[in-house]
Amino acid sequence: MTTEIIRVPDIGMDSATCIEVSVKAGDVIGVDDTILVLESDKASMDVPSPVAGKIVQLKIQEGDSVTEGDEMIYIELASDASAPSSSANTPAAAPAVAAAPVAVAPQANAETSSVTTVLVPDIGMDSANIIEIAVQVGDVIAEEDTIVILESDKASMDVPAPQGGEVIAISVQVGDTVSEGSILLELKTAGSAPASVAATNSVAEPAAAPAAPAGSAIETVTVPDIGMDSASVIEIAIQVGDQIALDDTLVVLESDKASMDVPSPISGEVVSITVKVGDTVAQGTQLIEVKTNAAAPSAPVVAAPSRAEVKTPKAEAPAPVIPVPASAPVASGKAVHAGPAVRKLAREFGVDLGAVPGTGPRGRVIKDDVAGWVKKRLQEPQQITAGAGLPTVPDQDFARFGTVEIKEMSRIQQLTAVNMVRNALVIPHVTQFDEADVTDTEAFRQSLKGEMEKRGVKISPLAFIVKACAAAMIEFPKFNVSLMADGKHMVHKQYVNIGIAVDTPNGLIVPVIKDADKKSIWQIAEEIIDFAKRGRDGKVKSVEMQGGCFTVSSLGALGGTAFTPIVNAPEVAILGVSKNAIKPHWNGTEFVPRNFTPLSMSYDHRAINGADAAKFTAFIALVLSDVRRLVL
């Protein structure tokens, strides 16, 4: 596919105002389909498309003043479209004779007034339903005031008044199906009906299309390999029209455990953005289109597949419905003035246009008004539901008791909360408590200080604990399983991956040390240090937090004597580690001080019985008391 830039042709006047945009991004149009309607103080005209294809981006909006050569649309040419001529000129549209927006049939003429029948104009479809009537009998309306709003299964549109006057009769009702030529209403107008209402306006013959810049091309940028199946778009760092450089951040992606920037593989002008905040994307999903300065790309865009490889999703995910708080204004019986695109946007977000103050001409609601209203509602705190069928804790007015500040939870915090509730409710937890005499192990670890400094790697007690847990998983394979959703089978894993809980500014993450049973304590210590550093910076990849068999949550540096960790499903057990304590220990002849590490192991009682849990915990304690057992 090739993307072409369609420009304003010779319109026979210095400039004109766009009074109607007949297409939208994503529309598939044919040759001579109307793109937009232009109007000056002397004439109006349709501007048809010189080519067939799919519209990528609109460069002109209603109300814009345009001149010959201005960019109108970017269009992705259809595969069967005619090939462009050998010249490098970008095709320009040729203006057609414009009909008035609404067809009218004069009924009677008088010296002072006349009655005009207003009909449904060419709406570009066989029929449509009336979803709103914006006028009443007796209303005095002006030219271009909305009369009715039509909607089909593919589009909605305002039908404007072709002239001003008093509404004396309405021939349709909400819900009626109408087509081109159907009678809508009758208007009493002052003076004789102008012939131009029902007639077409003549315009000058189109001149040759202006040449486009010879050194430009449209490139598609897609999601590269992000190391995870999918992620959500949490921020879009650019806008249409921005000039971007190589490696500038385009979007920020986030999964349930990590976030990352997606840099630009090329430089140029952003032509279109095909994703929005909240979308779920995967490798190969189209992000943006960029107009580059190169005449033609010499090689495919790095980290983005070619256009042919980009698959357009069949349906977009439904947009979130924004609840209207009780304090928000309620729509009145007064007609809301808004265009089809604005009304569609409002429906997608579940916004009542009657509650949105309009800032456009004559109080018309524009897209920015809807976007601002939605943004304001999203910034208000929302009720977080704990789970299906569960009661929620009602909000309170804490400001009555003192100064408060409301902050939004990070995405990781929100997802962690949901997972914790699910795991706590679904898994029958039992916690086995024990303690390990680590006196000799700590003495051995301290003796390695010189070698640690030489290697530049600090071995923490957690490295020994991870290695001990890996050995226990080999000794007790019943713990290396996951229950299947059918409740009849379980998966027995032939690998040992140990997750370690890491506290970060954005919330709790659990990176996984793969094949921990096959790695030395030095290697495990290096990975722990690396995960801790990158976790604080938010740079741990999602793929590095998948595939765990068992999790260790260590609070040893913080304090406490015991706690009940929640199993990290689909795993079936988790070990909690508390702060070491020096205790008197009877050696058979006397009490001696020994260093003990408290262990708290929670397990899923559906998969593990109590006896096995006690043996498993005792084995870990035994290994930690004498690490020489790791080589047996």
* CA gap 162, 165 in Å, rounded: 10
Annotated catalytic residue 489: no
How does strand 512-513 pair with strand 573-577? unpaired
DSSP class of residue 92 equals: B
**Strand residue runs (E) in 245-283:** 249-254, 259-263, 268-273, 280-281
Helical (H) or strand (E) element with 343:
helix 340-348
Q: Which residue out of 337, 489, 585, 605 is catalytically annotated? A: 605
How does strand 146-151 pair with strand 156-160? antiparallel
* CA gap 309, 312 in Å, rounded: 10
Burial of 155 from C-beta contacts in 10 A (0-12 / 13-18 / 19+): middle
Q: Residue 564 corresponds to which tokens in the numbers above? A: 């009940």
Categorise residue 261: left if φ over 0, alpha if ψ from -120 to 50, beta otherwise: beta
Beta bridge partners of 45: 38, 97
Q: Residue 292 corresponds to which tokens in the numbers above? A: 């580059």
CA proximity to 273, closest of 332, 315, 228, 233: 233
Q: Residue 369 corresponds to which tokens in the numbers above? A: 């008004």
How crowded is residue 447: how many other Cβ atoms within 10 Å of its Cβ?
Answer: 9
Query: Which strands sit side by side in the sheet containing 65-66, from one edge to the other?
Result: 65-66, 16-21, 34-39, 44-48, 96-97
Residue 570, preceding peptide bond in cis (omega within 30° of 0): yes
Read out DSSP for 357-377?
PP-SGGG-B-HHHHHHHHHHH
How does strand 71-77 pair with strand 3-7? antiparallel
Q: Tokens 């309405």 correspond to what residue?
A: 170
Quick check: helix, strand or coil at residue 111? coil
* CA gap 119, 104 in Å, rounded: 6
CA distances from 355 to 132, 347, 366, 383 (A): 17, 13, 13, 21
* CA gap 225, 29 in Å, rounded: 34
Question: Which residues belong to the active site?
Answer: 605
